[in-house]
């Protein structure tokens, strides 16, 4: 009986395994689309489908599956992949990105050097096959037999936070079976709609009875010896053990600042976080190239943006504002003016929020297209900012926020950026609560920052810019 339950547990896929399944399916869809596109191109356009045709006319087609995966790079969030509407939108946006990229290459290449219909066949087929695969993934891999069954250890504040996180995510990332707790006042009661099924003495029996695949340990303080031993015994039986802050990270892509302790912060950001020299070099090269391109675009846009600002609201066109950089160093950020003159006539710092009445009509358009940020590429070239990082905040607001939000100053461990993990996932935090949620994303970025994550954030930012989703 135990072996049967263990075998069933093997089918419960972890997030990393789901991501690999998604990627493998998309890649196979790209390969199938390539061969079918070559066949239709050869047959329908009377070119003949033969080895000679493939070798000399369309050999480069075999890089298209890789390009398709790059276009799909923003579609491997396992939570979004389980929602058909999100999958449909993601695949269609990837196809539109492929069309845009190909048209750019086609009209800038030597006439007649690139085909039209062959690539069109590929994009149509890749879109249809990938959508078919994503539909099958949702039908099969979100079925109960493939979902993890989770028991939360601890029904106090951290366990309650885990429950709120679980209830806010749709579709759910796993099947929550219930809770256990050694507090006799909690046992056999309910937490929301879920039962507190017992204490540490019942843990191993519950694992067998309920086919539990994972334990989320939501006890951040001292743990009783009996509970600790029961958790170790569960791990020896093949159950995955995850700490509550880690589960919170995996589900929401941010850190739970209200459930972290100072020693955890030191371990994560001092002992464990070692930024390699290679990453520093890669990031600086990326910043330099991006800064040059951005400044060139800024110079091209400057006359037109300046004219629009002058016609609507007069001078000044640009404004400087002190911000805190890495290590708390103050620098002046440069932006196009998007608000009325004397927007802070009382001399106090105010939150910039969505639909701010101080924003001019031109300023609102500049913000939606993110053009108001273009002068900051000069800050990037000077090394005061990076392309990717936490947004630089005003010294007055930082002084106030670090009194109210735990670990707020930790965001200064990284160089600030024009875009960042918080911007692509959350947007502006126009309140203390909003700033706290943004901080959770910023700390996640600082903990996990890498060249690959920077590229992913930049790709998502471009999608936001072209989708006119600025605030």
The answer on 289 and 160 residing in a single domain is no
Q: Are residues 335 and 243 in the same domain?
A: no
- Cβ 91 vs Cβ 72: under 8 Å: yes
Q: Is residue 75 part of a domain?
A: yes
* Residue 81: inside a domain: yes
Are 101 and 11 in the same domain? yes
Assess whether 285 and 245 both reside in one domain.
Answer: no
Q: Is residue 269 part of a domain?
A: no
State which of 98, 120, 141 marks the end of a domain.
Answer: 141
Q: Rounded to whole angstroms, how far apart are CA atoms 327 and 313?
A: 37
> What is the per-residue pLDDT for 34?
87
Four-point Cα dihedral 385, 390, 394, 400, nearest 10 = -150
Residues 375 and 410 in one domain: yes
Structural domain contains residue 354: yes
245 and 387 belong to one structural domain: no
pLDDT value of residue 429: 58
Within-domain flag for 439 = yes
Regarding whether 156 and 87 lie in a shared domain, the answer is no
- 264 lies in a domain? no
**Domain C-terminal end among 90, 116, 141:** 141
Q: What is the CA radius of gyration of the chain?
A: 26
Domain end among 141, 158, 174: 141
DSSP state, 359?
A: B
Claim to verify: residue 67 and residue 23 sit in the same structural domain? yes
> Please, are residues 337 and 317 in contact by the beta-carbon 8 Å criterion?
yes
Q: How many structural domains is the chain composed of?
A: 3
Residue appearing with tokens 């990332």: 173
pLDDT score at 58: 54
- Considering the domain architecture, whether residues 415 and 373 belong to the same structural domain is answered as yes
Q: Which domain holds residue 426?
A: 277-466
Strand order in the sheet with 240-243: 175-180, 149-153, 214-217, 240-243
Q: Which residue bears the tokens 């031109």? A: 362
| 258 in any annotated domain | no
The domain that contains 235 carries what CATH number? 3.40.50.720
Considering the domain architecture, whether residues 231 and 108 belong to the same structural domain is answered as no
Q: Are 402 and 408 in contact (CB under 8 A)?
A: yes
| pLDDT values of the chain reduced to their tens digit, one per residue, 471 residues | 444 444 445 556 777 778 888 999 999 999 999 888 887 877 766 555 555 445 545 556 778 888 888 888 778 877 778 888 888 888 988 888 888 877 777 676 666 555 667 778 888 999 999 999 999 998 888 777 778 899 999 998 999 999 999 988 877 888 899 999 988 888 888 888 899 998 889 999 999 998 898 999 998 777 888 899 999 999 988 888 989 988 898 888 888 888 776 666 666 665 445 567 788 888 999 999 999 999 999 999 889 988 988 888 778 888 888 999 888 899 999 888 888 776 565 556 555 656 667 778 887 888 877 788 889 999 999 999 999 999 998 888 888 888 888 888 888 888 999 999 988 887 665 577 788 888 889 988 988 888 888 988 887 787 666 544 443
Confirm whether 270 is domain-assigned: no
Q: Residues for the chain: how many in total? A: 471
Q: Do residues 306 and 375 share a domain?
A: yes
The pair of three-digit structure tokens given for residue 447, joined into one six-digit string: 């903990």
CB 291 within 8 A of CB 307: no
Please report, for residues 14, 21, 41, 130, 138, the alpha-carbon distance to residue 27 in angstroms, rounded to integers and kept in the order given. Answer: 20, 10, 21, 9, 17
Helices 15-44 and 64-71 meet at what angle, rounded to 10? 130
Asked if 153 and 226 sit in the same domain, the reply is: yes
CA distance 318 to 327: 26
Sign of CA pseudo-dihedral 386, 434, 409, 275: negative
């Amino acid at each position: 009986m135990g072996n049967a339950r263990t075998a069933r547990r093997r089918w419960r896929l972890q997030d990393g395994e789901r991501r690999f399944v998604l990627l493998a399916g998309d890649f196979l869809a790209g390969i199938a689309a390539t061969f079918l596109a070559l066949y239709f191109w050869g047959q329908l356009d009377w070119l003949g489908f033969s080895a000679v045709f493939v070798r000399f006319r369309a050999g480069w087609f075999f890089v298209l599956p890789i390009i398709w995966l790059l276009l799909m790079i923003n579609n491997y969030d396992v939570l979004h992949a389980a929602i058909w509407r999100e999958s449909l939108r993601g695949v269609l946006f990837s196809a539109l990105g492929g069309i845009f990229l190909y048209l750019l290459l086609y009209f800038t290449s030597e006439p007649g050097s690139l085909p039209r219909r062959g690539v069109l066949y590929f994009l149509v087929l890749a879109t249809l096959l990938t959508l078919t695969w994503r539909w099958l993934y949702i039908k099969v891999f979100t079925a109960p037999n493939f979902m993890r069954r989770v028991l939360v250890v601890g029904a106090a504040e951290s366990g309650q936070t885990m429950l709120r996180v679980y209830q806010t995510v749709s579709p759910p990332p796993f099947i929550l079976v219930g809770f256990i707790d050694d507090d006799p006042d909690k046992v056999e009661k309910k937490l929301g709609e879920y039962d507190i099924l017992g204490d540490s003495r019942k843990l191993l029996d519950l694992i067998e009875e309920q086919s539990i695949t994972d334990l989320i340990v939501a006890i951040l303080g001292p743990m009783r010896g009996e509970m600790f031993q029961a958790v170790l015994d569960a791990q020896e039986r093949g159950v995955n053990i995850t700490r509550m802050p880690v589960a919170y990270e995996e589900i929401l892509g941010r850190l739970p600042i209200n459930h972290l302790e100072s020693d955890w912060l030191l371990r994560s950001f001092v002992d464990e976080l070692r930024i390699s020299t290679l990453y520093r070099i890669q990031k600086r090269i990326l910043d330099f190239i991006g800064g040059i391109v951005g400044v060139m675009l800024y110079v091209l846009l400057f006359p037109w943006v300046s004219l629009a600002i002058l016609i609507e609201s007069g001078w000044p066109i640009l404004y400087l504002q002190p911000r805190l950089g890495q290590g708390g160093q103050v620098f002046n950020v440069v932006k196009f003016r998007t608000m009325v003159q004397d927007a802070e006539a009382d001399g106090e710092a105010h939150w910039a929020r969505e639909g701010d009445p101080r924003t001019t009509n031109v300023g609102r358009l500049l913000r939606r297209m993110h053009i108001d940020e273009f002068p900051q590429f000069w800050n990037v070239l000077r090394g005061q900012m990076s392309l990717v990082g936490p947004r630089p905040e005003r010294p007055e607001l930082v002084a106030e926020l670090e009194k109210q939000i735990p670990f707020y100053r930790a965001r200064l461990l990284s160089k600030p950026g024009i875009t960042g993990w918080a911007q692509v996932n959350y947007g502006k935090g126009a309140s203390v609560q909003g700033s706290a949620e943004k901080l959770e994303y910023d700390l996640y970025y600082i903990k996990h920052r890498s060249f690959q994550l920077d590229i992913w954030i930049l790709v998502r930012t471009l999608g936001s810019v072209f989708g006119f989703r600025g605030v």
